[in-house]
Structure 1
Amino acid sequence: MSTHPVVLITGALTGIGRATALAFAREGARVVVSGRRANEGQKLADALRALGTEAEFIQSDVRFEDEVRNLVEKTVARFGRLDIAVNSAGTEGESGPVTDRTPEGYAAVFDTNVLGTLLSMKHEMRAMMAQGGGSIVNISSTMGSRGAANASLYVASKHAVEGLTRSAAIEGAVAGVRVNAVAPGPVETAMLDRLTGTAERKSAFLTNVPLKRAGTPEEIADAIMFVASRKASFMTGEVIRINGGKTAS
């Protein structure tokens, strides 16, 4: 990997994805950010360039293979290679009991969280295998290893992401492509606000975290950067859980 790696981030326009893009840019990486909203994407690319690095926004919806293929191909065409990919695009979907779930609700969650991760890895791995190596970091969740009432589809989707991660890691190893996942607990993002609904419910939710707070997007970005880097060169097929101790008991 070169001194200034080429990094592709899906779901880069908000939350953890955005913090990760900024963190890589501050380290001098050449960054491609992707998402569905062109105006926000161009503003983020401008902010990354203002940090002194090369950056591009490529509009893409990970639910559609043609768009994912185009995203990876344009990244490689622009920078000549792809060293690191962070698959951060995700949605929580609607909450509610299993008995009320619908095929439409299933598709709304799984098309982004699972199919989107699969398609992203498919084309990222092809590019990385052709060049002789690379590092992929998928974003799971604390809910990727446990259950939660009224969140069955989100929970199931993150379990699937972890299964995809482990399987792809075995396939990629022979070509020097590492595939890992970072699984955040509660993080100060708009998604956490949507999930908890009110300040009171959010405060009550966080009392179950041993560190008694939510994480920050920047804390998760630091972990993603470590997992993606040469410092973790013997790590593949792993899920790193960062949740303030929430899964310790």
Structure 2
Amino acid sequence: MDALTDLWARISQLAAPLPGSWLLGSVAAGLLLVLLPGTWHTVRHAVTVVHEGGHGLAAVLTGRRLTGIRLHSDTSGLTVSKGPRTGPGMIITLLAGYTAPAIAALGAAWLLSAGYAAGLLWALLLLLALMLVQIRNWFGLWVVVLGAALVVVVTFFASPTWQAVFGLVVTSVLGFGALRASLELQRSRRRSRSTASDADQLAGLTRVPGVVWVGVFVLVALACLLGGAGLLFPGALEAARSFA
């Protein structure tokens, strides 16, 4: 019981609000990691982990049997589940991939705005632990273990302030990364004319054009970014409303 009490105290620990300059700097750092070509390839692995985790969670929740997840060095991934090839379950599973990082970023922004930076880190550890048991290739194992090691170090050795900074950077990477990945999907579709993307598979199941599904991914990413900004910068949102 003492161990559980101590664990809950760690998870529910409240962090003091970051100064405005630190808040802006953390978000800007996450944005730069997504915008710069040299760093985008690296941090996109984090976006892919959440993307594939979204597929996996949706598959389980819709009654499909999750059989494994692979992460590749080119930042792509593959989640395999067994079940009907058509129907709502398959549609939801496909839809969950590109939308998962954006929704996760919105949830993370909510936790951070409430002061639960430590809680966010523990949620990340839980996600990575669940991913670990489903990984089916060595590179994917390396990505998940390295990510988990980084989160463990921050969780157990960083001060609450730096935990909040790290959480904000991760949140920004997921939020902006979800938008960039969705936009890149359309460019990739135009170049390769492949029918294997989530958008094209959704088009085959629903008869709604793939470009429309890409638009859905982009709109979800934008909506979650705006929602996250409203949570993290409530003063700026109120000022914008007053100006309007």
Q: TM-score w.r.t. structure 2 length?
A: 0.28
Greater helix share, 1 or 2? 2
The structure that has the greater radius of gyration is 2
Bigger relative contact order, structure 1 or 2 (CA pairs below 8 A, ≥6 apart): 2
